[in-house]
Amino acid sequence: MKPILKEDLLGYRFLSGISCSPFENKAVFTVARQDTKTNGYKKNLWLADLETGKLSQLTHHGKARSFIFEKENSLLCAVEAKNKKPGHTGYAHFDLTTKKTEYAFTLPFAVNQLWMLEEGKYLVHANIDTNQEGMTEEEIKAEADYIPIRELPFWDNGIGYVSGWRDILYLYDSTEDKLQKLTDSKFNVAAVALSADHTTVWYTGQSFDEKKGRFNGLFRLDLETLQIEEIIPQETLRIGKLQLVGDTLFVSASYMDKWGTADKDDWYVLENGALKKILDNDYTLGCNVSSDCRYGGGKNAAEYMGKLLYLTTEVKYCLPNTLTPDGEHAHLFPFEGAIECLAVKGEQILFVAMKKQSLQELFLYNGKTVRQLSHFNRAVLKGKYVGKPEYCGFRNSEGVQIDGWVIKPIDFDPEKTYPALLSMHGGPCVAWGELFVHEMQMLAGQGYFVFYCNPRGSDGRGARFAHLRGKYGTVDYEDFMEFTDHVLEAVPQIDKNKLGVLGGSYGGYMTNWIIGHTSRFSAAVSQRSFCNPISDFGNSCLGYTFDVDQFAGTPWDNLDRLWDHAPLKYAPQCTTPTLFIHALEDYNCPLSQGFEMFSALKYHGITSEMVLFKGENHELSRSGKPLHRMRRLAEITRWFETYTK
């Protein structure tokens, strides 16, 4: 068997955005691949015939974007605007039979989502810079070099500066090229649900002028009168998903009164203008099992046979559930892997998923059984060593079950010893499972044991287990170290003098923490990390919400607590050679956080380097530019080759 190399990542296909036709037994989805010539992603549309299971490619230009079914055998696709103005969105009709495109219209903003109400008339959810409202084109050009900052958050990862930006609802009549604004410039619209008869829009969101809050409200918009009714005030609930099942509106929401942001959303239905709880839920809605082999998204809830269909992250899997308006809950079918997005046609469910040790593929559930329709990624792994994650869980010193796994190195010989790497996920409310992770498989292919676990604070085991507020660097650190001890005892072929540790985001925080509390690791790679909640508070797009909740204080009311939980405090105790990897446009864990820890290690004479990536953000390892992703893996390889081998 040949090892998986960093370059193999370029051959993977990423599936997303499934939508089933309301007119025919067909579905369309997106397939993306990386392209080193453009240092970007080529995305094309594919057609699935749900009767025969046959798949066929619709486009070859590599520029596919979002789309909707507008009539039988026809899509309305987002394309580059004809005027080519930045921020504008174009739309074109695409015939599924002839594969011909006819330009339709241009909208003067970035579109989040579009729904067809009737031919030529649309509901639009758009992202708007309200700072420019009422300005002429000349005034907008004159302001191009200036960024007004009046709100929190002032920037957002993967987007840029967002002060004054809002997501707003519009009506658009393409026959008259007429736009009508439906929601206020101070109001930010989040989730949207459109009734089947296209007369009512349900949406969530909040109005703010200085600081965006954690809670949002529920609103009803009558599309005939254009009157808006506040159903649930925006001060009390964190409302997540909206899904209509017939005339019943399902709402996921939490008061965040038990475990703060770790609380999971319960399910409610709207009855007589009030929310009625029908299910106490203790799992994250949607897929939260980590992998670096996804690109794009899709829906994770739908109406199915008169019930709500939705996904939940449970331990190491992401599974399909059904829920009736009366609160009757069931798992729809078992699946050993993670379902990531889905679409429904009658009794059939088409979904994208990763099974154990496999990359993404397309699957079809026919009401009884599941069958795999696609094999986009079969060839790229043929003849390659894909290490099987072997379960290595244990009960920690407090009696809590901790799930963990070990991947053996390529050509494993039980008579030899090998270096090993502890890999830590982000979050912290994320879960590792048994999914294919390219980074881990590449490292196993270079002769390392790779071991990883879900410490307290991770997802998949309920809100109590995920609750880490005020405990960062304590119980989670204990779990990581006890897991390391457990693995070393269970796997005597690991050379305990050749251990490395790596992680990103929360995993980067824990890398920074670990090197300040133990010298057992020979090398460390800290990625997109944070190290100081005091300074992070004012720099991160999440600081004023995440840090306050998770570290249980602010720089003014609990400075000592924040400093005690800052890895930066313990930098003088570090001895481990550490590589820092950071993206210049990471606003979740800002560049300043990487600089602070790097500078502290350098000041105290510890071997350390920093590699910065231009034009990248917090998602570098998952959706960064192809050449940048290759360089990142090369830097990790170089560091561990130097200091653990």
| pLDDT tens per residue across span 509-549 | 999 999 999 999 999 999 999 999 999 999 999 999 999 99
Distances (CA, A) of 298 to 81, 112, 312: 23, 13, 15
Report the pLDDT value the prediction gives residue 531, as an integer from 0 to 100. Answer: 98
Q: What percent of the chain has pLDDT over 90?
A: 98
Report the pLDDT value the prediction gives residue 270, as an integer from 0 to 100. Answer: 98
The rounded distance, in Å, linking the Cα atoms of 582 and 620 is 9
Report the pLDDT value the prediction gives residue 194, as an integer from 0 to 100. Answer: 98
The rounded distance, in Å, linking the Cα atoms of 546 and 562 is 13
Report the pLDDT value the prediction gives residue 57, as an integer from 0 to 100. Answer: 98
Smallest CA-to-CA distance from 435 within 392, 377, 388 is with 388
- Token readout for 380 is 């790229």
Average pLDDT over residues 162-181: 97
Q: State the average pLDDT for the chain.
A: 97
Q: What percent of the chain has pLDDT over 70?
A: 100
Angle ∠(24,30,32) on CA atoms, nearest 5: 160
pLDDT at 113 over 90: yes
The rounded distance, in Å, linking the Cα atoms of 588 and 530 is 9
Chain-centre distance of CA 325, in angstroms? 29
In a domain, 541, yes or no: yes
- CATH number reported for the structural domain that contains residue 472 in this entry: 3.40.50.1820
In a domain, 169, yes or no: no
Smallest CA-to-CA distance from 612 within 639, 631, 588 is with 631
Report the pLDDT value the prediction gives residue 565, as an integer from 0 to 100. Answer: 98
Domain count, the chain: 1
**For residue 535, what are the contacts with CB-CB under 8 A and spacing of at least 6?**
592, 593, 596
Report the pLDDT value the prediction gives residue 356, as an integer from 0 to 100. Answer: 86
Task: Give the dihedral sign, CA 364/307/355/625.
Answer: positive
In a domain, 416, yes or no: yes
Chain-centre distance of CA 638, in angstroms? 28
The residue range of the domain holding 610 is 385-644
Question: pLDDT tens across 410-462, in order?
Answer: 999 999 999 999 999 999 999 999 999 999 999 999 999 999 999 999 999 99
The rounded distance, in Å, linking the Cα atoms of 124 and 107 is 10
The rounded distance, in Å, linking the Cα atoms of 365 and 344 is 10
Average pLDDT over residues 279-303: 97
Question: pLDDT tens across 20-77, in order?
Answer: 999 999 999 999 999 999 999 999 999 999 999 999 999 999 999 999 999 999 999 9
Crossing angle for the helix pair 506-515 and 475-490, nearest 10 degrees? 80
Smallest CA-to-CA distance from 404 within 416, 420, 415 is with 420
In a domain, 99, yes or no: no
In a domain, 243, yes or no: no
Report the pLDDT value the prediction gives residue 613, as an integer from 0 to 100. Answer: 98
In a domain, 536, yes or no: yes
Neighbours of 9 (CB within 10 A): 20
Question: pLDDT tens across 232-267, in order?
Answer: 999 999 999 999 999 999 999 999 999 989 999 999
In a domain, 460, yes or no: yes
In a domain, 447, yes or no: yes
